[in-house]
A and B are shown apart, each in its own frame.
Chain A
Amino acid sequence: MSDELVIEDLHVSVEDKPIIKGLNLRIKQGEIHALMGPNGSGKSTLSNALMGHPHYEVDNGTVTFNGTPILELESNERARLGLFLAFQYPTAIPGVTMANFLRMAVSSVRSESSNGSETTELIPMREFRRELRAKMKQLGVDESFARRYLNDGFSGGEKKRAEILQLAMLEPKVAILDETDSGLDIDAVRIVGESVNQLIGPNLGVLIITHYPRLLNYIRPEYVHVLLDGRIVESGGWELAELLEEKGYDPIREKYGIAETVPETDGEAEESSAFRG
């Protein structure tokens, strides 16, 4: 039986402001979904809430992973069930090398005990090194990455590749990629796209979150959903992505009578307006 992430009638607020307003979505292992929405529509809010970020308040709804309700679980327990989030803005942790961190993370998600026991047995160094080297080679990541401090001083592209490397090492069942293409030049998007493609297979379900369909030229989703004002307003196939590429979000906004909201923190306004134009 394949694992499935099931989101039903999810409501999430940030600082008492409702952002996700009744969202339904099912993602099975092996499926590729795309979630598209303009800036500020709540894409990152959804991802963070699914991963259990303490800042995001779930007001209503259920999320189950392979039948297990996860909203009450700590983030690490969600990770251990096989959920993974590639962050839009990965956090830097100075002084912690990628290798040390990954060894601990991989050991934690693979360890037998179910309740995140404090004394995780580390996987043997040689075994870990061999695996890390192989994955780095597969993804074309430079070996010096292993010795660098986690996301510290990384360029935008390096951060995104580091997230994909973690995805490869942790072997989750369902991965959410939150705008893994944003802030990258076209070459970097291609590299990231090809890397993700290598990891896709029957054991991995993927939710590709983006407001910009160019990543989808490398990873072709089977299902496309449009997020507007905290709800999925349209779901379809590849043709929906093509429609967005062509016309932008305005026709859909008009159809559902949703005014354009100007995001408060807007690092990517230019990119998004270029897309609309």
Chain B
Amino acid sequence: MQLSSELIQTRPRAHNVRTGDFSRDFVEEISRCQDEPKWMRERRLEAHDAYQSLLMPHTADDDEWRRKVDMRTQDYWRRTKRNMRGFNVDDYNPAAFSALDASETPASSGITKTQAESNEESSGVIAIEDGSPVESFVSKETERKGVYFADLNTALKERPDLVRSYFMTKGVTTETQLRSGNIPLRNKFDALHGAFWQGGYLLHVPKGVVVEVPLRVFIALSESGHADLSHTIIVADADSKVTILEEQVSSNGGVAGFHCGAVEIFAGQNADITYVQVQRWNQQVWNFSTQRAIAGRDSRLCWVSGTLGSRLSKLNQTAALEGAGSNVQMLGLTFTHSRQHVDVSTAQEHIAPHTSSDLLYRTVLRDRSQTAWSGNIYVYPDGQHTDAYQKNDNLVLSDRAHADTLPGLEIQAHEVRCTHGATAGPIDKEQVFYLMSRGLSRSQAEKMIVDGFFEPVMDRIPLDSVRGELQDSITQKLAAAK
């Protein structure tokens, strides 16, 4: 997104913001002032109960986030815990905005209108800032095809049945049903999200509909201390096809923030989904997200995650291959610098037979940044003829940076083909020499090698403009002062 100065005001901003108020009362108030159906209020309250009963993972002695504690995971988890010490949920504000207050003068929005050409290259655009929708556009053609694309608070009013059946029922729940060893069963952040969620969107693509041009979503944090609790639901019915690019940005470079999100993706029979999420929060944002995709029979999902921003990020990503013949590709691109910390757990759960998954996570680290990736391929007893692949490569540009990598397999079926691998190391000196011998300076050579390292992931991002922005972020990070 080109950030222009043109302001847009489609709806009032959150009118009710309370610092550090994560109380049951406030949950009730959010639900009431937004005029939510009873079942949603109940779900929020239920999540709130879970939230209260769980400990913050970094303060807990027993390890909520690490069910399987072996020496390696302990060591790796200790770093994340240590880096989370500066986090205090009470510093952040959940928010509610009232749908009844449409007459209220809207506050000026820091998020800027996606420019006309961005709309032209898009079938639809949703922009959300600090939990409030600030832009919503769906092309006529997309609408005509019966595609529903709206912010989640609106969707709750316009498509209550859809929301009711998909919202935190089988994707991300406060009680994870499936058992990949490296993703926690119960996560306080997921519970917090379930109780206080705000914003996000629902995309529903009906049966047989093909959306040729990508849909775009911008989620922004602007005011200091804001919590973004946006929730993504993508439902692609049988034989449909769609591409979504979601970008998370800070419209104010220096202010602290907190993202506690959830992403739920449902690929129906023979559906084809490409979902790209690029996280570019500023370096003061705490980022927590649990994401889960459920792949139906013969469906295809290409799932790309770019992580460039945040102070600390903890991402749980699961692809559940529930339908026979489904195929999931998970691609990750992470670049950390300064003292950033990014911790990602991925799970490829092969539940049905003849499923295939292919994961490639590539990470570049600079300065004193740290990353941890733990991945698990979990093949259920029925997952015969699974074909699963998993690879994590880390390019460590500084002696003080640290990358942990923990590939893993848990296999309960006999007829499977699973391979995994991991690498971590500095830039190859021979490569640098080769490029320099052709006239490139050292930094140009290193940049070219880093770009090449990211290429297999970059290659899967469908929009030039999004690739260009990622590329710019990478260039800036490489050039940033140490």
Chain A contacts to B: CB under 8 angstroms = 51-55, 74-76, 78-80, 85, 87, 90-91, 93-96, 100-101, 104-106, 108-109, 116-118, 120, 149-150, 166, 170
Given A54-B429, A104-B440, A105-B440, the answer on whether A91 and B434 have CB atoms closer than 8 Å is: yes
Are the C-beta atoms of A108 and B437 separated by less than 8 Å?
Answer: no
Are the C-beta atoms of B434 and A108 separated by less than 8 Å?
Answer: no
**Which residues of B sit under 8 angstroms from A95, Cβ to Cβ?**
451-456
Roughly how many angstroms separate A96 CA and B451 CA in the complex, as a whole number?
Answer: 7
Partner-binding segment picked from B87-95, B255-263, B363-371, B441-449: B441-449
Prevailing SS type, chain B contact patch: helix
Are the C-beta atoms of B448 and A104 separated by less than 8 Å?
Answer: yes
Given A53-B433, A54-B433, A93-B449, the answer on whether A76 and B456 have CB atoms closer than 8 Å is: no
B436 located at the interface, meaning its Cβ lies under 8 Å from any Cβ of chain A in the complex: yes
Q: Pick 25 A–B contacts, CB within 8 A, sort by A.
A: A51-B433, A51-B437, A52-B433, A52-B436, A74-B442, A75-B436, A76-B440, A76-B442, A79-B438, A79-B439, A91-B428, A93-B434, A93-B448, A93-B449, A93-B452, A95-B452, A96-B455, A101-B438, A105-B438, A108-B438, A108-B444, A118-B443, A120-B441, A120-B444, A150-B452
Instruction: Give the number of chain B interface residues (Cβ < 8 Å).
Output: 25
Roughly how many angstroms separate A139 CA and B296 CA in the complex, as a whole number?
Answer: 52
**Which residues of B sit under 8 angstroms from A106, Cβ to Cβ?**
439
Closest 7 CB pairs of A and B: A95-B452, A95-B455, A108-B439, A96-B452, A109-B439, A75-B436, A105-B438
B435 located at the interface, meaning its Cβ lies under 8 Å from any Cβ of chain A in the complex: yes
Q: Which of A75, A96, A104, A150 contacts B437 (CB 8 A)?
A: A75
**Which residues of A sit under 8 angstroms from B428, Cβ to Cβ?**
91
**Which residues of A sit under 8 angstroms from B437, Cβ to Cβ?**
51-52, 75-76, 78-79, 85
Instruction: Name the distance in Å between B87's Cβ and chain A's nearest Cβ.
Output: 35
Roughly how many angstroms separate A112 CA and B434 CA in the complex, as a whole number?
Answer: 22
Chain B contacts to A: CB under 8 angstroms = 428-431, 433-445, 448-449, 451-456
Are the C-beta atoms of B439 and A170 separated by less than 8 Å?
Answer: yes
> Which one of B438, B443, B455 has the highest number of Cβ atoms from chain A below 10 Å of its Cβ?
B438
**Which residues of A sit under 8 angstroms from B436, Cβ to Cβ?**
52, 74-76, 79
Instruction: Name the distance in Å between B188's Cβ and chain A's nearest Cβ.
Output: 39
Given A95-B452, A96-B455, the answer on whether A101 and B439 have CB atoms closer than 8 Å is: no
Roughly how many angstroms separate A3 CA and B431 CA in the complex, as a whole number?
Answer: 29
**Which residues of B sit under 8 angstroms from A101, Cβ to Cβ?**
435, 438, 448
**Which residues of A sit under 8 angstroms from B441, Cβ to Cβ?**
74, 76, 108, 116-118, 120
Are the C-beta atoms of A93 and B442 separated by less than 8 Å?
Answer: no
Known interface pairs A93-B452, A120-B444; 16 further A-B residue pairs with C-beta atoms within 8 A, sorted by A's residue number: A51-B437, A52-B436, A53-B433, A74-B441, A78-B437, A90-B434, A94-B455, A95-B453, A95-B455, A96-B452, A96-B455, A104-B444, A105-B435, A105-B438, A105-B439, A149-B455
Are the C-beta atoms of B431 and A93 separated by less than 8 Å?
Answer: yes
Instruction: Name the distance in Å between A256's Cβ and chain B's nearest Cβ.
Output: 32
Are the C-beta atoms of B439 and A80 separated by less than 8 Å?
Answer: yes
Roughly how many angstroms separate A149 CA and B437 CA in the complex, as a whole number?
Answer: 18
Are the C-beta atoms of B454 and A76 separated by less than 8 Å?
Answer: no
Roughly how many angstroms separate A234 CA and B334 CA in the complex, as a whole number?
Answer: 56
**Which residues of B sit under 8 angstroms from A85, Cβ to Cβ?**
437
**Which residues of A sit under 8 angstroms from B451, Cβ to Cβ?**
95-96
